[in-house]
Amino acid sequence: MFKTMSFERLLEKATSHLLLEPDWNAILQICDMIRAGDTQPKYAIACIKKKMFNQNPHVALLALQVLESCVKNCGVGVHEEIATKTFMEDMRDLAKNSKDDPVKNKVLELIQAWAYAFRNSSRYRAVQDTLNIMKAEGFTFGPLKESDAMFAADTAPEWVDGESCHRCRAQFSLTQRKHHCRACGQVFCGKCSSKSCALPKFGIEKEVRVCDSCWDKHNGDAISTSSGESPDHSARSTQPSKQQSPAKQPGKSEEEIKEEEDFQLALALSKSEAEEKEKLKLRQTATLLNRTPTKTEPVSPKSSKSELVQDQESENPELARYLNRSYWENVSKSKGNEIADGYSATVEVKNGIEPTKIVEKFQNGEMDSVDDFALNLRNQIEMFVNRMKSNSSRGRYIANDTSVQTLFLNITAMHSELLKHTQDLDQRRGYYETLQDKLTQARDARAALDALREEHREKLRRAAEEADRQRQMQMAFKLDIMRKKKTGVS
């Protein structure tokens, strides 16, 4: 009853004689109520038809606009109501008896568009017959717009009846009730249709009963997107439980849980950054050692390192990699010692800089061989250009200048290394962009989680207020009864 009154109020608002143009908000709400099943199409078309025959032509024109929107957006239910012989005769009478040209033209436009849209369906033959009759009677129809005859509206499927559950094949009885899924229309038992969700594509904004498969279809993607992890993180999730995020414990407050989640996120990010820095150090070490002209080989504790790796691999390689902190500390120290012993002498002779500063910079990951290579390449190019200009100003042939040829060969040889450095920089940029995307996803997930928490707190507060109000009403009722008893005894 209340839904019927709401529909009537919306219709009155959409067809008010005070409107200067159509109220599209009210019209769309009417379409949503019909699509959601809150208002039956038969009742809706009957109410709109009353407005169509209003004496005020402005109200009739607005009612025709509402009817057009309902036919375009509300699907088969409304199509079957307008495609009856009775309704089409009423439309023909309205076109005959109307003295207002806009109303008459609108009726002719609707009939022509409906006939074109339903031309291939025998169920709606009454619309095509009405169009042919009116053409025979001398009505003049305007040019047809095919866009006005496109009716693309998804509606909820009709309910299918059955004696057993469509999924588990359980027989229905007095104790085993049947339920229908609003998404697919099949019949299910209570266990197979215990979930509910909104169906926006059918115009159903409130939560209604659906089966398990339809619930997974409509909500599975959203859940996997919000709680999904990147492939890199999913591969790491197979590690021990110390590396995973902590489960929610009932004894902890929301602030503590939030702090733990932030801490685990920071650990994961720092871990990935440390691994990337380790890769860069290894790559830089190989490049610098290849360019070092010294033949002295640094002393490295390879025997102890190999023994430690074998012990870790014999037990568990994953635990050896992620949980053995002392192993990684020894590896980093050994690398620092190797570079300090094998590279300090050549750097001191070549650049005249103190070797301790170079080693310290390299151990901290601040030394970049790309800068040295870029500086060397720039010097080679400048020398080549200056030599070319000098030969050009003096009128000398380039082919006879061995310096120009040597510089050209050096620059050509450095081209492959330049491409390698460019590729490495592109990979690093892609890695940092991936980290930025992960941070953005984590920030969005945090915002969504905070919104859900706020909503949950609001629900709890409302439930507490409702319980308090019920308690006060019960106390007032009991006090009233006690007063009546007391007055009756006295």
Cα–Cα distance for residue pair 73/34, rounded to 1 Å: 9
- Statement: the pTM of the whole predicted model exceeds 0.85: no
Structure tokens at 278: 């380790």
Q: Environment class of residue 77 by beta-carbon count within 10 Å: exposed (0-12), middle (13-18) or buried (19+)?
A: buried
The torsion of the CA quartet 485, 486, 489, 490, rounded to 10 degrees, works out to -150
Cα–Cα distance for residue pair 110/79, rounded to 1 Å: 13
Residue with tokens 């207002």: 100
Cα–Cα distance for residue pair 193/199, rounded to 1 Å: 15
Under 8 Å CB-to-CB from 240, ≥6 apart: which residues? Answer: 318, 319, 322, 323
What is the full per-residue pLDDT of the chain (490 aa) written as tens digits?
A: 556 778 888 999 999 988 888 898 899 889 888 887 888 899 999 999 999 998 899 999 999 999 998 888 888 888 889 889 999 999 989 988 888 888 999 999 999 888 888 888 888 888 889 988 988 888 888 887 765 555 555 566 777 888 888 888 888 888 888 888 888 888 899 888 888 887 766 656 667 888 888 888 877 645 544 444 443 443 333 343 333 444 444 455 666 676 676 666 666 666 767 777 777 777 777 776 665 444 444 444 444 444 544 554 455 555 545 555 666 667 666 655 654 454 444 434 344 444 444 444 444 443 467 788 888 888 888 888 888 888 788 777 777 778 888 888 888 888 888 888 888 888 888 898 999 989 999 999 999 999 999 999 999 999 999 999 999 999 999 888 888 888 876 5
Give the type of residue at 71.
V
Strands (E), 84-159: none
Cα–Cα distance for residue pair 120/287, rounded to 1 Å: 74
DSSP string, 8-67: HHHHHHHT-TT-SS--HHHHHHHHHHHHHTSS-HHHHHHHHHHHHT-SSHHHHHHHHHHH
DSSP string, 400-434: G-HHHHHHHHHHHHHHHHHHHHHHHHHHHHHHHHH
Structure tokens at 265: 């996120």
| DSSP tag of 171 | B
Cα–Cα distance for residue pair 32/423, rounded to 1 Å: 55
Cα–Cα distance for residue pair 358/340, rounded to 1 Å: 9
Give the rounded distance of the alpha carbon of 264 from its chain centre: 24
Cα–Cα distance for residue pair 381/364, rounded to 1 Å: 32
Number of CB atoms found within 10 A of residue 313's CB: 11
Query: End-to-end CA distance of the chain, in Å?
Result: 47
State the greatest distance between any 2 C-alpha atoms of the chain, in Å, as a whole number: 135
| DSSP tag of 250 | T
Structure tokens at 252: 């902890």
Number of continuous H segments (helices) and E segments (strands) in the chain: 17, 4
Structure tokens at 402: 């061995």
Q: 222 in helix, strand or coil? A: helix
Q: Tell me the C-alpha to C-alpha distance, in Å, between residue 373 and each of 257, 276, 340, 417, 419.
A: 49, 21, 21, 9, 12
